[in-house]
Each structure stands twice: as C-alpha cells, then as structure tokens.
Amino acid sequence: MGKRRSRIITIAVFLGILGAALPIVAASYLAWFIAVQRVQKRLEQVAGLTIMRATGTFADAKAALAKVGATSLAPCSDAHVALMRTLTVDTPSVEEIGYFEEGLLKCTSWGRTTGEFAESPTDFHTEDGIEVSIHVKPAISGGRPVMALRSGAYNALVVPSRFVDVLIDDGISIALANEDGTIIQTLNAPDREAVSSLVAGRSKGMTDSDLFATARREGMVAVATKQRSEVATGLNSERMLMLPIGLVSAIFTVGVVIWLSRRRLSPLAELEIAVRKCEFVVHYQPIIALKSGICVGAEALVRWQRPDGTLIKPDLFIPLAEETGLIMPITDQVIKAVISDLNSTLIDDRSLHIAINLCAADIKSGRILDILETKLRQADIRPEQIWLEATERGFIDIEAARSTLARARGRGHSVAIDDFGTGYSSLQYLQGLPMDALKIDKSFVDTIGKDTATSSVTPHIIEMAKTLGLFTVAEGIETKEQADHLQALGVDFGQGWLYAKPMPAEDFIVYHRQTQHKYGRAPEIIRVSER
C-alpha cells in the first residue's frame, strides 16, 4: 500500500473520529451552557429574594426599636413592659425586646428580670448606627442562637433564620453577610470562605467550584451559590437528549469522509494526482544491431514511480490513461524526461536513437510533433535521433494517421509500427502508410524453434518487410537461439532480456558506453530512404 493511500486512510479515520466526537462534544457543551444560564438566573432570583427578606426583617426590628426608644414611660413600669410586649407581638421577626441600664438587662417584654444579664459584645454596626451581635444565647431562646439588634438602651432579639427565610431548591446555598464579609446567617451550609470572598466581588459568575449570584442592599449582601458539580450531574438528561443528534451527525460526517476519500482513492483520481505531481520516470531498453552487437538506441518505457518509491508498470495505467486522455500529459512528461536524461549522451553519439511510444490520440492529432520540434531544437538533439512507435490502435482514422506519420517523417523522425502482427490489419492495409520500421511482436519471436502454426508466419513477415524496404526490430528476444535465428532471417535490430532489461537512465548511459567500448559505434543513423 502506497504512502499516499495510507495517509488518506489516516486522515479519513482521524476526520471520522473528529466527526463523531465533535457533534457530541458540541451538544454536551450546549447543554452545559444552557444549564449554567438557567442556574445562574435562579441564583440571581434567590439572592434578590433573600436580600429583600433580610432588609425587610431588619427594617421591622429597627422600627420596633425606634418606637420603644421614643417612649417616655418610666423604665420597667407595667406600662413600659406592656409597650415592649405589644411591639414584640406585633413584629413577627422580633422575639423579645429588652431594656438595659449601665450594661445590665433590667426588664424585657416578658417582665422584670431577676438575674444579672450583661449586654453581649457587638459584632458590627449598621449604617444607621444599630449595633448587631450575631450569636447571642439568652435564656429565653432556650439555647438557640439569636441575633441582637441594639439601639440606645434597647435590644431586639431576632431569630436569624428569618433573614434567610426563603424557599430554595435543592443544591442552592445562601448566605447573608455585611459588606465587611461578616456572615450573619446561612442556609444549606455554603462554603463560608468562598462566600466571604464573593461578597466584595462581581454580582454573578463562576468560581472553580461554584456558580454564584450576589445581591446587595443597605449594607447587606446576599450570596446564593450552587456547586458546579451539581450542575453537571443535572445535565445527564440533557446530554442523553443530545446524544442521538450527535450520533446522527457523526454518521453523516463519517459517511461524507468515506465518500470523499473513496473518490480520492479511485484509480483515476490517483492517476490525476500523479500527472499533476509529475510522478513518471522513464526506463530505457537497449536496441541492438543483431549483426554487430552495437547498441543503436533504446526504447523509452514509462513507469509510474509512487511517492514510496515503488514502480508501477505501464500495462497497469496506460489503458486508463488512454481512455481518459491523461495519456497526453504523460507523453509530454516522457519527452521531457528523455531530453533531460539523455541530452548529452545523444549529442555525444549522433548515431544513437530513442524510440518513444505514441498513443492513439497523438497519432490522430499529431499534436506531439510541434512539442517535440521546439524541445529538440532547444536541446540540440536531431529529429533523426527520435523514433516514434505507433500501434495499429492509432490507425482507426487512417487518413489522420497517414498525415501525422508523413509529417513526422518530413521532420526527420523515423516511424516504427509497434506490435506488428498482433492486430487485424494486414500488411497490405498498412502498406500505404509512410513508415521506416516494423517492430515484430514478442509473440512471433517466441515461436522461433517451436513447431507451431504461427512459427511459419515469422519468416514471411520479415520477408515482406524487406520487400517494402523497411527496417525490422524484433521484440522480446530472450535466448541466443532466437537472436541467431532472427539474424539469419535478416532482421536488423533486436531488443530483449537477452541483451538487457529496461533500466534507469544512469544505467543505460553506462550500458551504452560499455557496448560502445566493446563493439564500437554505429555510423550515422541511416534512413530508410537512404537504405
């Protein structure tokens, strides 16, 4: 499997997982966000309600203290005690009113006191001068801690729960504090330290552990909190609801990714990428003059070199390339490669030729000729040094083929008919075509020395080629016997594993130099017309 293919699969898997996870994560986040908004709103309500309740309670107690403070009745007289009792009864939040002289309790709304009760120490002062003791445990309360609000000689006891006397939902905690952060009362056990730090801060938001909202009025602050972990647990139902939506869009995303990557992985798409990235290299198979052993040229055979280095044989992609027209840019890349690979070798040995395979479309249109002309001129390679191979597949439009081949020869190229004998057309039919050489297909070469029906055809083909004045090139020579036989029949050139397999340019250059050393160099290329 190629690198590109595995990369595409990796990307597809990655995107697939992402596509699956993203909607679920997004849905969860949305659910969390909505839940946070809702809780926050509720906390604001609770804090507002608490502060209303607390200031109301404070105001009632203060009003009672103001009324009793204004009286001129004799302290602790029956009328004085009666007034204190009426005020206590009429003010729901006040449990008891007490009268002090020199710091000692003299009488309360319930009558004269007998023991010695001192004033409790003040925890803080309100803005309007009321002294507040948060935790007082007078005998009357039966041990419950109460709050004392003091003004002048009077003291009103208030049950602190009255300050936070609101109905709250599960998980919400509230605290009432003054602006210094002194906590007056709490409900549902909020984190006291957290509350103290929230008193001075923003009116709502989120800490590491809690959601909160605060409300402030007349020097008091109500703080409502809810733990973030509780918001998250309440979320599960919403998450479950979002799950199907996430799942559906995950399936959709994965489907799209698979569809896209399959398209990308299709052979045609891969071939298109290969053409765009110029992934084609050319190997060269030497062509030998059978009589002398001289290397007179080579056939350029294209290979697709994948990014991971593997080479793909032309049989596997040329048919698809021909079908889709991609063959034309591939031919262009072959021409470019031939020139850059062998420019100096071809200048050095003017008798050397390179045979390039043309596709049917190129034979029909002849488009390739102009491209070749400019490129060869720039590189100082002679047109005679480039042979063009055409197969019968290119002769369907015989007139167009005739014109292209004639033009090619006119410019100096030699034209060879490739795979000769494998098609339907007879030599008669091809006779009228302008050409220089016949390439005898490997299937005929294979019959040499064997007693088969076609083995008798091979000498005839060679004979006819000679009568027409054509060079012959035998393809796929694998044994010495075949070579000797073909030479005896008068075949000019041979190509096959007996001599060399197709090889990269560097190897061919070395091969050419060595055979040159051994057998010498051919005279200048001979054209058919000069034969």
Contacts within 8 Å (CB) and 24+ apart, 119-126: 119/150, 119/155, 120/148, 122/150, 123/182, 124/178, 124/180, 124/182, 126/58, 126/178, 126/218, 126/219
Tokens of 33: 């966000």
423 near ligand C2E (CB under 6 A): no
The radius of gyration of the chain's CA atoms, rounded to the nearest angstrom, is 52
Q: Closer to Ca ion at the Cβ: 57 or 357?
A: 357
* Strand order, beta sheet including 183-187: 183-187, 172-178, 220-227, 210-217, 204-206
* Contacts for 83 with CB less than 8 Å, ≥ 6 apart: 68, 71, 73
Q: Point out which span in 11-19, 176-184, 490-498, 523-531 binds ligand C2E (CB under 6 A).
A: 490-498
Q: Point out which span in 55-63, 381-389, 424-432, 452-460 binds Ca ion (CB under 5 A).
A: 381-389
389 near Ca ion (CB under 5 A): yes
Q: Closer to ligand C2E at the Cβ: 108 or 458?
A: 458
Q: Point out which span in 25-33, 45-53, 316-324, 470-478 binds Ca ion (CB under 5 A).
A: 470-478
Q: Closer to ligand C2E at the Cβ: 199 or 369?
A: 369
Chain centroid offset of residue 64 CA: 72
Q: Minimum Å distance from CB 478 to ligand C2E?
A: 5
Q: Closer to ligand C2E at the Cβ: 181 or 293?
A: 293
Q: Closer to ligand C2E at the Cβ: 64 or 300?
A: 300
Q: Closer to ligand C2E at the Cβ: 105 or 355?
A: 355
Residue with tokens 């795979």, as numbered in its chain: 419
Contact flags string 179-218 toward ligand C2E, x per CB under 6 A = ----------------------------------------
Pairing of strands 183-187, 172-178: antiparallel
For the segment 472-501, give every residue that binds Ca ion (CB under 5 A).
475
Q: Closer to ligand C2E at the Cβ: 436 or 475?
A: 475
As a whole number of angstroms, the distance between CA 63 and CA 166 comes to 22
480 near ligand C2E (CB under 6 A): no
Q: Which of 191, 373, 384, 478 binds ligand C2E (CB under 6 A)?
A: 478
Which helix H or strand E contains 472, and what residues bound it?
strand 471-474
Q: Minimum Å distance from CB 446 to ligand C2E?
A: 9
154 has which bridge partners?
99, 151
Tell me which DSSP letter residue 518 carries. Answer: H
280 has which bridge partners?
304
Q: What is each CA distance from 292 to 74, 470, 484, 519, in whole angstroms?
A: 150, 19, 12, 7
Total residues interacting with ligand C2E, rule: CB under 6 A: 23
- Residue 253 site contact among ligand C2E, Ca ion, none (CB < 5 to 8 Å, cut-off depends on kind): none
Total residues interacting with Ca ion, rule: CB under 5 A: 5
Q: Minimum Å distance from CB 482 to ligand C2E?
A: 9
Compute how many other C-beta atoms are within 10 angstroms of the C-beta atom of residue 517. Answer: 9
Residue with tokens 């005279």, as numbered in its chain: 523
Q: Are the C-beta atoms of residues 53 and 168 closer than 8 Å to each other?
A: no
Pairing of strands 353-357, 295-305: parallel
419 near ligand C2E (CB under 6 A): yes
148 has which bridge partners?
133, 157
Q: Which of 16, 297, 421, 496 binds ligand C2E (CB under 6 A)?
A: 496
Pairing of strands 414-420, 437-440: parallel
- Residue 221 site contact among ligand C2E, Ca ion, none (CB < 5 to 8 Å, cut-off depends on kind): none
For the segment 297-336, give every residue that binds ligand C2E (CB under 6 A).
300-302, 313-315, 318, 327, 331, 334
Contact flags string 401-430 toward Ca ion, x per CB under 5 A = -----------------xx-----------
- Residue 318 site contact among Ca ion, ligand C2E, none (CB < 5 to 8 Å, cut-off depends on kind): ligand C2E
Tokens of 149: 């609000």
Q: Minimum Å distance from CB 441 to Ca ion?
A: 6
As a whole number of angstroms, the distance between CA 56 and CA 69 comes to 20
33 near ligand C2E (CB under 6 A): no
- Torsion angle of alpha carbons 311, 316, 317, 323, nearest 10°? 170
Residues that bind ligand C2E (CB under 6 A): 285, 300-302, 313-315, 318, 327, 331, 334, 357, 359, 418-419, 475-478, 495-497, 502
